Amino acid sequence: MRTLTFSIKVFIFLFAVNLQAQKTSKKETPKDSVVYKTGYGLRLGIDLSKPGLSFIDKSYTGFEIVGDYRVSKNWYVAAEIGHEEEITFEDFTTSTSKGNYIRLGANLNTYNNWLDMNNEIYIGGRYGFAIFEHTLNEFTPNISTGSTDTPIIFPNQTITTPVSESGLTAHWFEFQIGIKVETFKNLFIGFHGAYKIGLSIDDQENFKTLYTPGFNRVFESNTGFGFNYTISYLIPFVNK
C-alpha cells in the first residue's frame, strides 16, 4: 500500500513536471518571423508637375506642397496646399482664375509591403477649399446664326474691359488613387489621380467659374479631375 501511494505521488509529480516542462518549452521557442520596422513621421514634398506645366504652358502657373503624417500601419493624415493661376481660352471668352487652396483628408494604404519596404498603393479622400479671384478678361457676344449658309450681317464687338471679382470660395470633395515608392532611404516618388465633386463653387456676377485653383477645370456637372507627381521626404520620428 505504501509503495502504491508513493508511486502515485511520483506519477503526479512527474506529470506536473512534464506539464511545467511543456509550458517552458513553449515559451522558449523562438518566433519564426521577424518584425520589420518602418518609419512613422512627417513626410513633406512638392508637386513636380505644376512647376513643369508652368514652364511649358505660358497661361498657367502653379505650385503645390504635399504632406502626410502616418497615424497607424495603413492610415495617413494627408494634406496639400498650393497656389494656381490659369488663363482659360474659350471660343467666346477669355478668363483668368487665380488663388490659393488647401485639401485635407486621409490616405489608406492597401499594399502589403514585403520585409521592411515602405511603399504605398493608396486610396484617399479629401475635403478641398479654395479662395480665388476670377476675371473675365474679354468676351465676344455669340451672334452666330447657327448655320454656315446664313451669314452674320451685323458687325460684332469684342468687349475687352476686364471684370474681376475676388474673395470667391469653393468647397469640394475629392477621391484619390495613388502610389508612393521609396526610391532612396526616406525619399519617395509619388503619383495620384483624383476625381473631384464640387459642393459649392462661387461664380462671379453674370459669368461662371471655369477654373478653380486646386480643383482645375470645372465641368458643367460641377466635377473635376486632377493629378500630381510628387517627390517627398520622410522625417521619421519613430520606427514601429
Partner 1 sequence: MRFLKYAIILFVAAICFLSCEKDDFCTQNPVTPNLVLRFYDNTTLTEFKEVKRFTMSTGGITLFSDIATDSIAIPLNTIAEETIFTLTRNETDSEDNTGDETATLTVKYTSENEYISRSCGFRVIFNNVTFEATGWIDRLSVTEVESIKNQANAHVNIFH
Interface residues toward partner 1, by CB under 8 A: 90-93, 110-112, 121, 123, 139-147, 152-157, 159, 175, 177, 193, 195, 206-208, 210, 219-221, 223, 225
Residue nearer to partner 1 on the CB measure, 3 or 150: 150
Which amino acid type is present at position 31?
A: K
Q: Please, what is the minimum distance in Å from the beta carbon of residue 23 to partner 1?
A: 39
Q: Please, what is the minimum distance in Å from the beta carbon of residue 140 to partner 1?
A: 7
Neighbouring-strand partners of residue 94: 89, 138
In angstroms, the CA 149 to CA 146 distance is 9
Residue nearer to partner 1 on the CB measure, 7 or 59: 59
In sequence order, which residues have a C-beta less than 8 Å from that of residue 192 and are 6 or more positions away?
124, 176, 177, 178, 179, 227, 228, 230
DSSP labels, 20-77: HHHHHHHHHSPPSS-PPP-EEEEEEEEESHHHHHHHH-TTEEEEEEEEEEE-SSSEEE
Q: Please, what is the minimum distance in Å from the beta carbon of residue 132 to partner 1?
A: 17
Residue nearer to partner 1 on the CB measure, 156 or 160: 156
In sequence order, which residues have a C-beta less than 8 Å from that of residue 8 and are 6 or more positions away?
none
Q: Please, what is the minimum distance in Å from the beta carbon of residue 122 to partner 1?
A: 8
Residue nearer to partner 1 on the CB measure, 107 or 230: 107
In angstroms, the CA 93 to CA 134 distance is 13
Q: Please, what is the minimum distance in Å from the beta carbon of residue 211 to partner 1?
A: 10
Residue nearer to partner 1 on the CB measure, 112 or 200: 112
Q: Please, what is the minimum distance in Å from the beta carbon of residue 93 to partner 1?
A: 5
Residue nearer to partner 1 on the CB measure, 21 or 159: 159
Look at residues 222, 215, 219 and name the one whose alpha carbon lies nearest to residue 130.
215
Q: Where is 125: in which H helix or E strand?
A: strand 120-139
139-153 burial string, b = 16+ CB within 10 Å, else e? beeeeeeeeeeeeee
